[in-house]
Structure 1
Amino acid sequence: MNNYNFTVVERFMRYVQVDTQSDGSSTASPTTEKQKDLSKILVQELQAMGVADAHLDDFGYVYATIPANTEKKVPVICFCSHVDTSPDCSGKNVKPIIHKNYQGQDLVLPDDNTQVIKMVDHPDLKDQIGNDIITASGTTLLGADNKAGVAEIMDAANYWMAHPEVKHGQIRILFTPDEEVGRGVNNVDMKKLAADFGYTIDGETLGSLENETFSADGLKITIYGVSAHPGFAKGKMESAIKIASEIVAALPKDHLSPETTEGKEGFVHPVGIQGNVEEASVSFIIRDHITANLAKHEDVVKQIAEKVIANYPFSKFEIKISEQYRNFKEVLDQHPQVIEYALEGIKRSGMEPKLQSIRGGTDGSRLSFMGLPCPNVFAGEHAFHSKHEWASVQDMQKAVETIVNIASVWEEKI
């Protein structure tokens, strides 16, 4: 890709200014209509490149095809990113800023000078000396998760359409909504997608490839208490709110929580509590890289609830567990070429590949179990879901190059 005039940064700077936050409390699909605002732009830009079949469906998914230009019978490869940003931090009126020729200084964000991005807090910045860093202005997240990936796939598509001499098989592009609220592939039409293997472009550090995620369950505990008029409640009332609070307070303090674990350590994490005196519920996410450990962590919650509820003879509780996603390593290990060819693509782009696990999940986690083996390639996004989110121009350009090279490797290896 020498002498290629990358478009990824220009695209990224525009895309992040489109508010696409998803909403976990919504039952619609997509959960917010505004996600389609960006998806419509993507379709228009793909069509302008000459990608004739690019379209947006009613559920907010963008599908597009880069036709094969080789005589070889190459597996169909899908590149996927999500358009939504996290509801954890505002994504409205994002003002992206490029800090050119970063030299290790603190980055004071101008719209709120209490928001300061420091190398000591973001050690990956040590590898960015001399690069150009993109941040938001201090009042919103940036949206690099995952608009960096979206812009990178779009630039790769632009390259392929402009360079037919670069051989590749058929390439499918998929942009999804609602990944941040765990519903990113709920309504993907796998028959329409018709891909054999895939890559989400939603990873962090330059050169990284993620072949292992958490396995994940949702757990909801509902407490049924006893209501009574508070003026006459002695010996009668058993407040479901207080019981729920006691259960949360009794969770482990020094282990099995997000704030006390790292690496491949799992956790139990309460993410929501609601209710009244008569009925209250607590929602948890349960995470571990070893799927079998989920049941053990869920049993910890159950034992705590049983111990607490024993002090309330007229109250009871129930627990409901729902599967969210599974560690896609279980699938990827059956298709080693998916990892092998991606590592080769990273090497060809001039980097030393880093094969690693992720303390989270991606659309690829579920896609892999839906028949599309799909590891996660770096996009260069950092400090996701926060006002300190950042990405570098040079990392995003390397991601574009890597996407193009992965497709070339697949064509060559057949």
Structure 2
Amino acid sequence: MTQPKLYSAAAMHYVLYAFNAASVFLLAIFMSITQTKINTSMSARLFLDSVSAVPWSANKIILFAVCAFLLLLSLSIIYRRCILTQSKYRYIVLALEICSCLIVMRSINMAYDGVILLVVADLISGYRGKNQRIILTAAMFSLYLIASYNLVDLQLKMIPFDVYISYYNQSVQGILKAACNILTSFNMILFVIYTMLLVQNQHQEKERIQSLNKQLNDANEKLRNYAIEAEHMAETRERNRLAREIHDTLGHALTSIIAGLDACLATIDAAPDFTKKQLKVISDTARHGINDVRRSVRRLRPDNLEKLPLKNALSQMIGDFASASGMHISLNYDCCPQNLRADEEEVIYRVIQESITNANRHGHAAHIEIIFSQTDGLLKIHIKDDGTGCENPIEGFGLRHMQERLSLLHGTLKYKSCGGFIIQADIPLSRGDIYNDKNNDSR
């Protein structure tokens, strides 16, 4: 909304320059033509007697005016760029611009002082703080003092512009004086318009900056609120992660230990040697559980996954649990995915671990069958036990955490009671490299 208006002051500045260029060139051409007429007329001697200096030639008047104004324009452009870049040379350029302004006025014998407003326009556009205010006031005062009292004329012998006008008759003199007044007045009007637009643009820019600051403050406030919320969410996620890890690791280990100890109580009198071996298995299971808890706290994967590939880690975990609990667990691979990510391997490991733990703890199952298969880009894990099952299964801590883990991989979890308990976990495969391995691993 404000961008076109911001350009309007700059456009008016160019209009101001164009008008002053036209005014200076017109006056230079007028003086050149008049000089030519005087030189070719019989009144040249009379004209020279009425002035205190030798007039310039017609060509010199035009050439000097054109070169002086182009110098003023160039210095004005350089000064504006120095203002934008905050160059330390901007005051030197300003002094040169003021000198070039005086040269332009000298080229037309101080007949027109409107070019002073060009320098003032540059000073106003580059106005920055108290120092610029002092420089602006001093420069304007000096320029108008020179223009008003013709102090330059005291040092440089110039032919007054009125002498050129007096060469013509009374009616033409009136027209020429009126034209000069019109040029001066119209230049002043353009300068006032430029000043108004510049002030308006600066006000709009200030409002725009205030609006941007308000938006920035609002955004910062939202970011602070978001950071607090994100911190709370991170804390919640970490608590949930620790709860899942402790439930999976300790729950699995303790269930295996309890089942093993129950078996030991039943065999301690009848088969003490077998009981000793069983206690050794239970001790190893406890150590694995402690290692898993430590790794969970450190956000590491299960101990088996740290040391072994997924397939071997699953076999190790299932074998340990079967030995401690006395359950028979079969692991069947119709296919086994390769090159899985670490998070995918961990989810598969934890789902199977939690499933066999629940089958022992809640279903009191004696046999569990685990089947891996692949269909339509999904890795399917089918887990079935022959336990007591549950007609109306309630989603407890273990099932909920299995679902949360699978959701992280955009997977799904289904379960039902049918002559035991059946769990179906589906995980989208991120890679198509499936290794067919017809293999049964029973414990």
TM interval, shorter chain, is under 0.3
Higher-helix-fraction structure? 2
Normalised by the length of structure 1, the TM-score is 0.19
Normalised by the length of structure 2, the TM-score is 0.18
Higher-strand-fraction structure? 1
Structure with the larger RCO, 1 or 2 (CA within 8 Å, 6+ apart): 1
